[in-house]
Amino acid sequence: MDLGRLLQAMVERGVLLRRIMYVVLAGLVIADIVVPSKYDRFPWESIGGFGAFYGFISCVLIIVVSKALGYLLLYRSEDYYDE
């Protein structure tokens, strides 16, 4: 199917896509710093690029905390409930 080939072609140009993504990410942060903040209900809303920082930190925190909970407390073998 053509759609499948199109996707495959995109995957094969992964390096290019990644570079485009870097530009987009940088552009976003710059835009957030340049565009005057619309909200000031919380102190961090007027810090340019705080969303980027918070997104990255959230992601790392979620993975680390969840995996830690998994290994320390929650993970069981797949046949844990079968007996």
Partner 1 sequence: MSEVLHPSILLFTGALVVAVLRGRLQQGVMLLVAAALIWLVFSLPSGVFGATEFLGIELSPMRVDKLSLVFASVFAIITLVGAIYALHVKDTPQHVAALMYAGSALGVVFAGDLVTLYVFWELMVFTSVWLIWCRRNPASMAAGFRYLLVHALGGIVLLAGIILYYLDAGTVQFAEIENTGLAFYLILIGFLLNAAVPPLGAWLADAYPESTVTGAIFLSALTTKTAVYTLIRGFPGTELLVWLGVVMALWGVVYAVLANDIRRLLAYHIISQVGYMVAGVGMGTIMALNGAASHAFTHILYKALLFMGAGAVIHMTGRAKLTELGGIYRYMPVTFLLYMIGAFSISAFPLFSGFVSKTMVVEAAALDQRAWVWLLLSLASAGTFLHTGLKLPWFTFFGPDRGLKPREAPLNMLVAMGIAAFFCVFIGIYPQWLYAMMPATVEYQAYTSGHILWELQLLLFTGVGFFVLLKHVGGEPKISVDTDWVYRKAMPAIAGGIQRVGGAAWQAMLGTLMHKLTALVTSVSAHHGPQGILARTWPTGSMVLWVAILLAASLLIYYL
**Tokens 């409930």, located at residue:** 81
Q: What's the start-to-end Cα distance of the chain, in Å? A: 46
Distance CA 74, CA 16 (A): 40
State in angstroms the smallest separation of the CB of 36 from partner 1.
Answer: 9
Q: Binding to partner 1 by residue 1, rule CB under 8 A? A: yes
Site string for partner 1, 37-66 (x = CB under 8 A): xxx-xx--x---xxxxxxxx-xxxxxx-xx
Of 3, 15, 23, 72, the one binding partner 1 (CB under 8 A) is 3
Q: What angle do CA 52, 33, 22 make, to 5 degrees?
A: 50
Q: What angle do CA 72, 55, 8 make, to 5 degrees?
A: 95
Q: Binding to partner 1 by residue 35, rule CB under 8 A? A: yes
Interface residues with partner 1 (CB under 8 A) are 1, 3-8, 11, 21, 24-25, 28-29, 31-32, 35, 37-39, 41-42, 45, 49-56, 58-63, 65-67, 69-70, 74-78, 80-81
